[in-house]
Amino acid sequence: MSKKPKFQTLTGMHDILGEEQKYFQKIYSVVENIAQFYGFQKIETPILEETELFSKGTGSSTDVVQKEMYSFRTKGGDYVSLRPEGTPSIVRAYIEHGMISRPQPVKLYHNVAPFFRYERPQAGRYREFHQFDFEVLGEKNSVIDVQLIQIGYNILKELGLKDLIIEINSIGDAQCRPYYKKSLVNYLRKHQVVLCADCKRRLKENPLRILDCKKEKCQELVNTAPQIIDYLCEECHNYFKEVLEFLDELDLPYRLNPFLARGLDYYTKTVFEIFEETEEGKKQGILIAGGRYDGLIKLLGGKDAPACGMAGGVERIMNIMKNAEVKITQSSPPKIFLAQLGELAKKRSLKLLEEFRKAKIPVAESLSRDSLKIQLGIADKLGTEYTLILGQKEALEQSVIVREMTTGRQKTVKLDNVIAEMRKRLKKS
């Protein structure tokens, strides 16, 4: 039995190796292209932020803040946390850099950035995980909510995911939500004996969090609880009606979930989740989620401004892509291999490779090998069309042999002309 290496990844952390990298790069590329089309500007925020940014923004009663944050004191005495999500950081940047003075809305996004939560590792869920994150700040219009849903849906479709469904709800605002909370608490108190320990605590701190509980008994209780949609004020009701009308216009597949609340405190009005559904009607994990948060900018010290956002879990999306065997088109291997023999040829090869790089012509090589037979074998395995052979004689004469791999025909070309020669040959092939 082989001995385990002394150092291994920590629980819930993972290396992203070659096979997975192609999925990460594909997701990154699709997000980048869609973000640019819809006019989003890329932003990168620090991994470390003041803990209060999340305890205040994400919500002190949320599981994220109470149980899942990596928080510690620095040597200077600051209390900081590894970011568990992206929205508070982007809002902080919006306030700190005076973006409210720019033409509104300001559209920002993170692309495949790392985040951290201390939770039990599961399939597609790690303690260090990656998300893309789209935020629209400074605009209160139902069309923004729907465009973000559409962007999330389009990303997943372009990544080859099928059977997607959007679940959507409105959780009202500060005007109407207190009436719903009161009704929900009255109902839950009558049945609190069946609530799990966490939900008994949530009943006192933030009863809406009970709607997110995954425990079976709590879910059964929630299914017969009062529905927030029956308590919406006229403004929230009309706003939600507009959102649904826009979704109908786009023919996006959605269904109402009257108990969808999301697990964060800052949401107002629209909340949504996008996931893939199996043939049996089971969710394959939430892939993208978000909603409106009109009070967060003011709560974190900025001027009162509305906002809306969404985020997608990269590892979860990647797992679905792998299980569905989504084909990823990879860049073609180089058509040219550079083989060399001898120290002088090796030196000339370094310069020649740099010239090919500047000319944007891919070239494979194995500079550490000295045997021409081995190098030609590598070129054959790679399926290259041409091998450039640079030996001691060629290095002295400032020339190179161009060998056609299929026919074996060879031609000697001056080093100064080899870029033009190969460009001409590749154009014909």
CATH of the domain at 376: 3.40.50.800
Q: Which of 296, 323, 350 is at the close of a domain?
A: 323
Q: What is the mean pLDDT of the chain?
A: 91
Helical packing angle, 234-250 and 142-158, nearest 10° = 40
By CB atoms closer than 10 A (0-12, 13-18, 19+), residue 162 is exposed
pTM: 0.86
Is the distance from CB of 159 to CB of 321 less than 8 angstroms?
Answer: yes
Q: How confident is the model at residue 210 (pLDDT cuts 50, 70, 90)?
A: confident
**Who's near 281: CB < 8 A, 6+ residues apart?**
none
pLDDT above 60 for 1: no
Q: Residues 292-333: pLDDT tens digits?
A: 999 999 999 999 999 999 999 999 999 999 988 888 877 778
Structural domain includes residue 112 = yes
Clarify whether residues 315 and 346 are in a common domain.
Answer: no
pLDDT above 80 for 274: yes
Write down the H helix ranges in 115-227.
142-158, 177-190, 197-205, 216-222
| Of 329, 362, 360, nearest in space to 30 by CA | 329
Clarify whether residues 318 and 375 are in a common domain.
Answer: no
Clarify whether residues 377 and 297 are in a common domain.
Answer: no
Q: How confident is the model at residue 30 (pLDDT cuts 50, 70, 90)?
A: very high
Question: Could you tell me the CATH number of the domain that includes residue 253?
Answer: 3.30.930.10
Clarify whether residues 143 and 281 are in a common domain.
Answer: yes
Q: Residues 86-122: pLDDT tens digits?
A: 999 999 999 999 999 999 999 999 999 999 999 887 7
- The dihedrals phi and psi of 368, each to the nearest 5 degrees, come to -75, -15
Is the distance from CB of 307 to CB of 337 less than 8 angstroms?
Answer: no
When divided into structural domains, the chain yields a total of 2
Q: Residues 53-83: pLDDT tens digits?
A: 999 988 877 778 888 999 999 999 999 999 9
Q: How confident is the model at residue 207 (pLDDT cuts 50, 70, 90)?
A: confident
Q: Residue 155 is part of which domain span?
A: 18-176+232-323
Instruction: Identify the pLDDT of residue 222.
Output: 86
Clarify whether residues 273 and 303 are in a common domain.
Answer: yes
Structural domain includes residue 429 = no
Question: From the CA atom positions of the chain, what is the Rg in Å?
Answer: 28
Clarify whether residues 236 and 384 are in a common domain.
Answer: no
Write down the H helix ranges in 264-405.
296-299, 314-323, 343-358, 372-382, 392-397
Q: Residues 135-151: pLDDT tens digits?
A: 999 999 999 999 999 99
By CB atoms closer than 10 A (0-12, 13-18, 19+), residue 126 is buried
Q: How confident is the model at residue 2 (pLDDT cuts 50, 70, 90)?
A: low
